[in-house]
Structure 1
Amino acid sequence: MATARTANPTSVMGLNKPANGQLKGQPKPANLQSIPSAAAQQPAGPQKGSSIPQSSGGIKFGDDWKKCLQLPPKDTRMKTSDVTSTKGNEFEDYCLKRELLMGIFEMGWEKPSPVQEESIPIALSGRDILARAKNGTGKSGAYLIPLLERIDLKKDHIQAIVMVPTRELALQMSQISIQLSKHLGGVKVMATTGGTNLRDDIMRLDETVHVIIATPGRILDLVKKGVAKVDKTQMMVMDEADKLLSQDFVILIEEIISFLPKDRQILLYSATFPVSVQKFMAKHLKKPYEINLMEELTLKGITQYYAYVTERQKVHCLNTLFSRLQINQSIIFCNSTQRVELLAKKITQLGYSCFYIHAKMMQEYRNRVFHDFRNGLCRNLVCTDLFTRGIDIQAVNVVINFDFPKSAETYLHRIGRSGRFGHLGLAINLITSEDRFNLKGIEEQLVTDIKPIPSSIDKSLYVAEFHSVDPDDDGDTSDKW
């Protein structure tokens, strides 16, 4: 469904609103750490020219193929036990294709995380999976690696579908899939979402497509038109399954499944599993293998504070946080699209660079904001809960709830935008008198402790320490992140 362009909000701020969500003020020379380079934020990205062939044809038996890999700079930041408490397995232990292993290592993924250790061998066996694991602990790799391993290039039909709730997550997953499969010699990955040209998708499906990564409405439309033929699709993954099985999407999901073959494999991944997921599992999954890595609900590396303020004090408090915290990148959450735009303008007036994003923006502008923020072109992003699902931006170390969320589930997904893959992060909540009971309820539901904000926050709680590394083996240890 195409998104409508929002009308300009009130001009109280005295600024003209650009339609693309990119507001930039003059950055203040405060004690803020420079944003890492794009290479540091992306999980992968070649640094130099490579001699690696793009297909297996140039790799001969006995070659030391690892020496030819384009490895990103080694990540020497401390990681929490959420991702380090493993059985000690290696990716090579799963008998994966060498070309897929090359893509995995070039992503910077050195060893499987706990959810990947549990999930990859079971998914390769063809069994249904119900996996519950924290945000930012490697869920995407847990299903993309076995999915790509099982693609048969001799078959020219759609072999796997990955369902996601948002367009941004679809684009992110397709990029990761393309990077992982770049040495496999011809795996065709397609992202299709609402808000884009349907004709382009129809023309793309005239050619071979092995993997579709999609939002539910668009893929159902293509299936009903007979353009996306899924009667031979062997695997369907539902990422952020709790959202996909909410009232917004569940009817669409049920209809999509009706077009799949009866012997398909279904994989469900999420951080939270409400009753709707249990009902779906009982109806559609066959003896699923259950993975639960959620004994402790919130990420261990995220320190949580609250600041008790009035509504009128929020902007002043935010300004104080900007001047005192060492922010790589921050995401600031509001509860409505109008408040997102107004706050973004105010932050810009205060002199800080700021983008904003919400569901009512045109898709091309959402794509541009997401891409530019991920590449480090701006330090602060103001958004609605659109951005809480699965978005992985490694440089984000601070999340601020300008408006406190209503539910524990939303709170968990919001603060999970920092502290990605076991790294450190900081979550700060601006609490009014109306929020105090909600704060207590969320603490109890998540069995977590949200403390009053101190006058000074120890930087070691949320600023990663980087050690000297020599990724090029050239004797130069100055090329750290």
Structure 2
Amino acid sequence: MQTDTQNPTPDQTFTALPLNAALQRALEVLGYTRMTPIQAQSLPPMLDGRDVIGEAPTGSGKTAAYALGLLSRIDPAQARTQALVLCPTRELADQVAREIRALARFIPNIKLTVLSGGIVKRPQLASLEHEPHIVVGMAGRVLEHLDSGALKLDALKVLVLDEADRMLGADFAAECRSIVEHAPRERQTLFFSATFADAVRGLSRQLQRKPVEIKVESDGRQIRQLFFEVSPRRRSDALAHLLSTYRPASALVFCFTRNDAKDLEAELAQRGYAVLGLHGHIDQRERDEVLVRFANGSCRVLVATDVAARGLDIKDLAAVLSYELPEDPDQHVHRIGRTGRAGKTGLALNLYTADEAERVRAIEARLNIEATIESLPGTLSPDRPLQPEVVTLCVDAGRRDKLRPGDLLGALTGDIGLVKEAVGKISSFDTRTYFAIDRKHAARVLQRLREVKIKGRKYRVREIG
């Protein structure tokens, strides 16, 4: 392997790269000018056709890097599947697909299909009747379509494993290997993640050809980390104390197990916190609604397991809290990487017991830091939950109904008379559209939306919290 850890000059721009005019135009429209370190170091070898292992913190621009790499190799005139991106979760697959589509906006006739589990196959099969140029999906569902013959990879040029350490871990390794068997040997294979275990590097020797290994270290300056020793019986009280003391606008709380997450969610809700849970006991529709509510601010606290939260892209996350420290320090890196993104300051608050002190030392060694240990007071502060300022409403129509976010925004600012600033994030799904609205306007907006027509139709509208 070739390793490159040299940081690029801060003024390195995308125009210095041999990208085609369509990609350069998309970058200009999106406002992408200066490359991040992982982009500056990984794009040249990717554009040369080299295999790459890219390790960089969450939120550092890895997706845009490999998206530009694979789009530069797509031939739109060849109606065959030429690129495949494998992701561990549906949310990450959707996020990756959005970013690739944004960068491909000026490339004519590019078709991208998302193949994720947890949803019906029929629309996916219909999409595969005419081969997409790019497939983004989860390994299990991709393999099902390969085995059935609905998807073919004989023209594949680029294979990407996002969150590659997890894709090559116990959960997905067998499926990924089976997928590789369907792919041509002459292909470009790209691994990207925030961390890589030695075992993953060993597997790369079997799946990649002389990969260029690039590692971009985080200096940690944008994330303030604090560690609090606590007795096991005071753990939940200590967590509530931290939420009430620091009062983050949004907080992602990590637990080990789904039962821990469910119990903590119930306890925090009882104490008055605007909290939701993300774990294996909720279906895909409920999961979508949980993430929408948390992203738009109608829920302040999200309690999740590491598996459920892996691959989430939550913008402007104020704080990450570890209800208990993970045994693997790499997992801690993934947790704290959710906050302090895009140059903003983040906060990571970590609880541990005396028996877990060794985990603090492992984190210190992994991040090359000296942990800041803070003491909890003998009497913990009373609950002071931070309440949401917005409410999430749901319109029971979406992309399949040809209802676009702009149509909904037009009705809200036109017929209903809201100023644009009163409307928060609009999230569109196949059969539903969610949007955030200032709490003081919610009742009136809900009533009026049930009365007005949007594109000549009335839709069912409800509040989900």
TM-score range, shorter chain: 0.7 to 0.9
Q: What are structure 1's unaligned runs of at least 5 residues?
A: 1-81, 457-477
Give secondary structure in 1 for the equivalent of 2:99: helix
Aligned to 1:302: 223
Q: How far off is 1:315 after superposition? A: 2.6
Aligned to 1:428: 349
| Per-residue Cα deviation, 1:283-330 (whole angstroms, up to 9, x for no partner) | 221121221223x6x633111111111233223222222222252321
Give the alignment's TM-score, normalised by structure 1: 0.73
Q: Could you tell me how far apart the structure 2 residues matched to 1:167 and 1:152 are?
A: 27
Q: Contact between 1:174 and 1:213, CA under 8 Å: does it hold in 2?
A: yes
RMSD: 2.5
| Per-residue Cα deviation, 1:416-441 (whole angstroms, up to 9, x for no partner) | 11112332111111112232222223
Q: Contact between 1:119 and 1:142, CA under 8 Å: does it hold in 2?
A: yes
Give secondary structure in 1 for the equivalent of 2:318: strand
Aligned to 1:269: 192
Aligned to 1:123: 46
| Per-residue Cα deviation, 1:252-285 (whole angstroms, up to 9, x for no partner) | 1111111111211001112222222222221221
Q: Does 1:153 find its partner at 2:71?
A: no
Letter in 2 for 1:266: T
Q: How far off is 1:351 after superposition? A: 2.0
2:117 to 185, 191, 194: 194
Q: Does 1:182 find its partner at 2:105?
A: yes
Letter in 1 for 2:67: L
Letter in 1 for 2:262: E
| Alpha carbons of structure 1 residues 163 and 133: separation in structure 2 relative to 1, 3 Å | same
Q: Could you tell me how far apart the structure 2 residues matched to 1:85 and 1:299 are?
A: 18
Q: Contact between 2:229 and 2:375, CA under 8 Å: does it hold in 1?
A: no
Q: How many residues align?
A: 375
| Per-residue Cα deviation, 1:382-428 (whole angstroms, up to 9, x for no partner) | 10002453322221021000122121111111111111233211111
Q: Contact between 1:134 and 1:299, CA under 8 Å: does it hold in 2?
A: no
1:238 to 157, 161, 169: 161
Q: Could you tell me how far apart the structure 1 residues matched to 2:278 and 2:24 are?
A: 35
| Alpha carbons of structure 1 residues 390 and 195: separation in structure 2 relative to 1, 3 Å | closer
Give the alignment's TM-score, normalised by structure 2: 0.75
| Alpha carbons of structure 1 residues 304 and 221: separation in structure 2 relative to 1, 3 Å | same
Give secondary structure in 1 for the equivalent of 2:342: helix
Letter in 2 for 1:287: K
**Greater strand fraction, Structure 1 or Structure 2:** 2
Aligned to 2:265: 344
| Alpha carbons of structure 1 residues 199 and 118: separation in structure 2 relative to 1, 3 Å | same
Give secondary structure in 2 for the equivalent of 1:333: strand
Aligned to 2:293: 372
Q: Could you tell me how far apart the structure 2 residues matched to 1:108 and 1:325 are?
A: 34
Q: Does 1:248 find its partner at 2:177?
A: no
Matches within 5 A, 1:312-331: 312-331=233-252
Q: Could you tell me how far apart the structure 1 residues matched to 2:28 and 2:341 are?
A: 18
1:414 to 321, 328, 335: 335
Q: Contact between 1:231 and 1:259, CA under 8 Å: does it hold in 2?
A: yes
Matches within 5 A, 1:26-41: none
Letter in 1 for 2:232: E
Q: How far off is 1:87 after superposition? A: 4.7
Aligned to 1:104: 27
Give secondary structure in 2 for the equivalent of 1:365: helix
Q: Could you tell me how far apart the structure 2 residues matched to 1:326 and 1:351 are?
A: 13
Aligned to 1:144: 67
Letter in 2 for 1:180: L
| Alpha carbons of structure 1 residues 250 and 263: separation in structure 2 relative to 1, 3 Å | same
Q: Could you tell me how far apart the structure 1 residues matched to 2:236 and 2:129 are?
A: 52
Q: How far off is 1:178 after superposition? A: 2.0
Aligned to 2:314: 393
Q: Could you tell me how far apart the structure 2 residues matched to 1:357 and 1:410 are?
A: 17
Aligned to 1:219: 142
Q: Could you tell me how far apart the structure 1 residues matched to 2:77 and 2:298 are?
A: 42
Q: Does 1:132 find its partner at 2:55?
A: yes
Q: Contact between 1:91 and 1:101, CA under 8 Å: does it hold in 2?
A: yes
Q: What are structure 2's unaligned runs of at least 5 residues?
A: 378-420, 425-465
Q: Could you tell me how far apart the structure 1 residues matched to 2:45 and 2:16 are?
A: 13
Q: How far off is 1:85 after superposition? A: 6.2
Aligned to 1:78: none
State the percentage of identical aligned residues. 32
Letter in 2 for 1:143: Y
Q: Contact between 1:162 and 1:237, CA under 8 Å: does it hold in 2?
A: yes
| Alpha carbons of structure 1 residues 404 and 455: separation in structure 2 relative to 1, 3 Å | closer
Q: Does 1:384 find its partner at 2:384?
A: no
Q: Contact between 1:170 and 1:191, CA under 8 Å: does it hold in 2?
A: yes
| Per-residue Cα deviation, 1:118-171 (whole angstroms, up to 9, x for no partner) | 111221221111122222211111101121232221111111001111222111
Q: Contact between 1:137 and 1:422, CA under 8 Å: does it hold in 2?
A: no
Letter in 2 for 1:284: L
Q: Could you tell me how far apart the structure 1 residues matched to 2:112 and 2:291 are?
A: 20
Letter in 2 for 1:255: S
Aligned to 2:391: none
1:446 to 342, 367, 372: 367
Letter in 1 for 2:122: R
| Alpha carbons of structure 1 residues 359 and 168: separation in structure 2 relative to 1, 3 Å | farther
